[in-house]
Structure 1
Amino acid sequence: MSAESTDHRKRPRRRGDALVNAILEATIEELAEHGYTALTMEGVAERARASKASLYRRWTSRATLVMDAVYHLLPDPSDIPDTGELRGDLLVLLRQSARTLSGPAGEALRGLLGEALPHPEHDVEIRTRSQGMGRRMMAEVARRAVARGEIPAEAVADVRLDVGQALLRNHFLFRVEPVPDSLVVEIVDTVLVPLFHTVPGRSKPNPH
């Protein structure tokens, strides 16, 4: 393969959705190659064969661009494989999340948090931009379990839908290492499965 064919500066210019997708993919490539701290709007624009103005028309900052790029990586909740049981679905979902954290999305998460802590205005911007994809994916897994009769609908609450992803992020951020599969299994078996089998206000798990 020639240098010209791999040089991102030689790619044809794009418009509309094709341009947006090219910019988001270029952002992921920049994250993987340079990390969050070294990522610049100029670098993304050059890699995507786009003007800086086209980036700033859509994203007001590096943080908002990176957030959209990370969400671009994540699957649609309806695409999560259906294993036929709650435990299996939870394992698939959290393993998928663990793999995502080990790549450019994890690098972005560390960078975004580091940028937001000393600048409260950035924290507000990041929260406003958040799409709650982790909760939506967990909600789909819980919906399937309710439909199968595995768990009661009363056991599903927003705060419970956040627990698994929060535990993964906590390990990733404070241990600064990939999430081991043993931790995924432990979270599913000792936290999530018992939690979703318990109705709030009841002392005993649901018998299903």
Structure 2
Amino acid sequence: MTETTRTRRRGPQLEQAILDAAWAELSDVGYPALTIEAVAKRAGTSKPVIYRRWPSRAALVVAAWATRRPISEETPDLGSLRGDLLWLFTRIAMRMDAMMSQTIAGVMSEAFKHPEVQEFLRERMDSAPLSESLWTIVDNAVARGELSPVAIPRRVLQLPLNLLRSEAIMCGTPLTEETLSSIVDDIYIPILKGLAVR
């Protein structure tokens, strides 16, 4: 890549090139061996350029992962709270499978050690389309009479991701249909119904 080409790439184009390079590097060498230097070389940029956008290797990998399988499709109304939740949990599980459990474990390990990574992950989770999808599913269930009106705390909105991430780390991926059904039936629906009662 020539210097002329490098200087032309700015903003979103450069960021996407870096994210693509990070994902390609992750796929080739795995999370433990991934370095910012290798990503910079693959993207045709420099380490300082990457660090200006992402504070750490973990933050870069999470951002790259977010571009792979975004939950962007419209949340369907399948006619039941259980069916809608299974649809959503399956989509999340597909993203977990795409990221690989060793990568999830590595990112979480860095989050424990580095406050800036924790903050980055919190921001990503708060801005994720997961919350919007869950509200749509709950609103549909309330409209059908399956649930009383319910206020969902922030931690309960994030719980599907946390539950599935824990399963992916402990048991590996892909998560089975039985696992997803159990999480929906034994954990999440009872929590929603309990919040509705309150």
Scaled to the shorter chain, the TM-score interval is 0.7 to 0.9
Work out the CA distance in 2 between the residues paired with 1:108 and 1:52: 21
Equivalent position of 1:41 in the other structure: 36
Q: Is the 8 A contact 1:26 1:48 kept in 2?
A: yes
Give how far 1:177 is off. Answer: 4.3
Aligned residue among 173, 191, 194 for 1:195: 191
Q: 2:61 aligns with which of 61, 66, 71?
A: 66
The answer for the alignment partner of 1:167 in structure 2 is 163
**Is there any run of 5+ residues in structure 2 with no aligned partner, and where?**
none
Query: Quick check: which one's helix share is greater?
Result: 2
CA drift at 1:135: 4.0
Using the aligned pairs only, state the percent identity: 35
Contact 1:155 1:198 survives alignment (8 Å): no
CA distance in 1, matches of 2:69, 2:173: 21
**2:51 corresponds to:** 56
Partner of 2:147: 151
Please, what TM-score do these two structures have when normalized by structure 1?
Answer: 0.75
Q: Look up the match of 1:3.
A: none
TM-score by length of 2: 0.79
Q: How many angstroms does 1:147 deviate by?
A: 4.5
Residue of structure 2 in register with 1:139 after alignment: 135
Q: Distance in 1 between matches of 2:84 and 2:14?
A: 34
Report if aligned partners of 1:77, 1:137 keep a CA contact under 8 Å in 2: no
Change over 3 Å in CA distance of 1:147–1:74 after alignment to 2? farther
Alpha-carbon offset, residue 59 of structure 1: 1.8
* 1:91 Cα deviation after fit: 0.9
How many residues end up aligned between the 2 structures?
189
Unaligned runs of 5+ in 1: 1-8, 203-208
Q: Deviation of residue 105 (structure 1)? A: 5.5
Higher relative CO (Cα under 8 Å, sequence separation at least 6) belongs to 2
Q: Which amino acid aligns with 2:149?
A: A
**1:153-189 C-alpha deviation (Å, 9 max, x unpaired):** 3253333323333222222112234311111011112
Verify the 8 A CA contact 2:150 2:195 in the aligned structure 1: yes
1:186 aligns to 2:186 (yes or no): no
Q: Structure 1's 146 and 69: CA in aligned 2 closer, same or farther, altered over 3 A?
A: farther
Q: Secondary structure at the match of 2:150?
A: helix
Kept in 2, the 8 Å contact 1:101–1:107? The answer is no
